[in-house]
A and B are shown apart, each in its own frame.
Chain A
Amino acid sequence: MPDAIIDAYRDQLWGLIGTLPGLDGVRERALNKFASAGFPSTRHEDWRYSDIKTLRTTPFDQMAAPMQAPDLPAPLTDVAARLVFVNGRFQESLSDMGDLLQAASVRPLANHLMANAERVDELNLGSDSINLLNTALMRDGFVLSIPAGIEIDEAIEIVHVSAGADHAAAHVRHLVEMGEGASATLLERFVGDDSAYWVNSLLQARVTEGATLTHIRMQEEGPAATHTATAIVSVGAGGNYHATNISLGSNLSRFEARVRLLADEANATVDGVALAGTGESHDMLVHVDHRMPNTTSDQVFRTVADARGKTSFQGKVTVAAGAQQVNADQSFKALLLDRTAEANAKPELEIFADDVKCSHGATVGELDDKALFYLTSRGIDPATARQMLVEAFSDEAFARTGNESLADSIRARVGQWMQNHTLEGQAA
Chain B
Amino acid sequence: MLKVTDLHVSVDEKEIIKGLSLTINPGEVHAIMGLNGAGKSTLANTIAGRDDYEITSGSIEFAGKDVTELEPHERVGEGMFLGFQYPVEIPGVSNLNFMRTALNGVRKYRGEDEMSAAEFMKLVRVKAADLKMSTDMLKRFVNVGFSGGEKKRNEMVQMAVLDPKLAILDETDSGLDIDALKTVADGINAQRRDDTSILLITHYQRLLDYVQPDVVHVMIDGKIVKTGGKELAVELEEKGYADVA
Instruction: Answer whether A and B are interacting partners.
Output: yes
Task: List A residues at the B interface (Cβ < 8 Å).
Answer: 368-371, 373-382, 384-385, 388-389, 391-393, 395-396
Other-chain residue from A379, A385, A388 in contact with B103 (beta carbon distance below 8 A): A379
Q: Which of A371, A374, A389, A391 has the largest number of chain B CB atoms within 10 A?
A: A374
8 shortest A-B CB distances, which residue pairs? A392-B92, A379-B76, A378-B102, A379-B106, A374-B88, A379-B105, A376-B72, A376-B73
Other-chain residue from B52, B82, B92 in contact with A393 (beta carbon distance below 8 A): B92
Q: Restricting to B48-82, which residues have a CB under 8 Å from any CB of A?
A: 48-52, 71-73, 76-77, 82
Task: List B residues at the A interface (Cβ < 8 Å).
Answer: 48-52, 71-73, 76-77, 82, 84, 87-88, 90-93, 97-99, 101-103, 105-106, 109, 158, 162
Other-chain residue from A378, A382, A393 in contact with B158 (beta carbon distance below 8 A): A378
Give 18 CB contacts A-B under 8 Å: A368-B88, A371-B88, A371-B90, A373-B72, A373-B88, A374-B88, A377-B50, A378-B73, A378-B105, A379-B77, A379-B106, A380-B101, A385-B73, A388-B101, A389-B92, A389-B93, A392-B90, A392-B92
* Contact, CB under 8 Å: A373 / B101: no
Inter-chain contacts of B158 with A (CB < 8 A):
378
Inter-chain contacts of A395 with B (CB < 8 A):
92
CA distance A381 to B102 in the complex (A): 9
Tell me the minimal C-beta distance from B223 to chain A in angstroms.
Answer: 25
A393 nearest CB neighbor, chain B only: B92
Known: A374-B88, A382-B71, A396-B92. 14 other contacts (CB 8 A): A374-B84, A377-B82, A377-B84, A378-B98, A379-B73, A379-B76, A379-B77, A379-B109, A388-B93, A388-B98, A389-B92, A391-B92, A392-B91, A393-B92
CA distance A291 to B84 in the complex (A): 52
Inter-chain contacts of B106 with A (CB < 8 A):
379
Given A370-B88, A371-B88, the answer on whether A376 and B101 have CB atoms closer than 8 Å is no
CA distance A369 to B72 in the complex (A): 13
* Contact, CB under 8 Å: A378 / B92: no
CA distance A382 to B162 in the complex (A): 18
Inter-chain contacts of B97 with A (CB < 8 A):
388
CA distance A381 to B73 in the complex (A): 6
Tell me the minimal C-beta distance from B56 to chain A in angstroms.
Answer: 20
Inter-chain contacts of B82 with A (CB < 8 A):
377
B80 nearest CB neighbor, chain A only: A377
CA distance A381 to B76 in the complex (A): 10
* Contact, CB under 8 Å: A380 / B73: yes
Given A374-B88, A378-B158, A395-B92, the answer on whether A384 and B71 have CB atoms closer than 8 Å is no
Inter-chain contacts of B99 with A (CB < 8 A):
378
Q: What is the predominant secondary structure among interface residues of chain A facing chain B? A: helix
Q: What is the predominant secondary structure among interface residues of chain B facing chain A? A: helix
Other-chain residue from A373, A379, A382, A392 in contact with B93 (beta carbon distance below 8 A): A392
Q: Which of B49, B71, B88, B162 has the largest number of chain A CB atoms within 10 A?
A: B88
* Contact, CB under 8 Å: B105 / A384: yes
CA distance A371 to B98 in the complex (A): 12
Inter-chain contacts of B73 with A (CB < 8 A):
376-382, 385
* Contact, CB under 8 Å: A381 / B105: yes
* Contact, CB under 8 Å: B84 / A379: no
CA distance A375 to B158 in the complex (A): 11
Tell me the minimal C-beta distance from B139 to chain A in angstroms.
Answer: 15
Tell me the minimal C-beta distance from A66 to chain B in angstroms.
Answer: 40
Tell me the minimal C-beta distance from B44 to chain A in angstroms.
Answer: 10
CA distance A369 to B99 in the complex (A): 19
Inter-chain contacts of B162 with A (CB < 8 A):
378-379
Tell me the minimal C-beta distance from B120 to chain A in angstroms.
Answer: 14
CA distance A240 to B76 in the complex (A): 49
CA distance A370 to B98 in the complex (A): 15
CA distance A377 to B170 in the complex (A): 13
Inter-chain contacts of A381 with B (CB < 8 A):
73, 105
Tell me the minimal C-beta distance from B3 to chain A in angstroms.
Answer: 20
CA distance A368 to B89 in the complex (A): 11
* Contact, CB under 8 Å: B102 / A379: yes
Tell me the minimal C-beta distance from B204 to chain A in angstroms.
Answer: 24
Inter-chain contacts of A370 with B (CB < 8 A):
88
CA distance A384 to B106 in the complex (A): 13
Inter-chain contacts of B48 with A (CB < 8 A):
377
B101 nearest CB neighbor, chain A only: A380
Tell me the minimal C-beta distance from B60 to chain A in angstroms.
Answer: 15
* Contact, CB under 8 Å: A376 / B71: yes
Tell me the minimal C-beta distance from A29 to chain B in angstroms.
Answer: 49
* Contact, CB under 8 Å: B77 / A374: no
Q: Which of A369, A373, A379 has the largest number of chain B CB atoms within 10 A?
A: A379
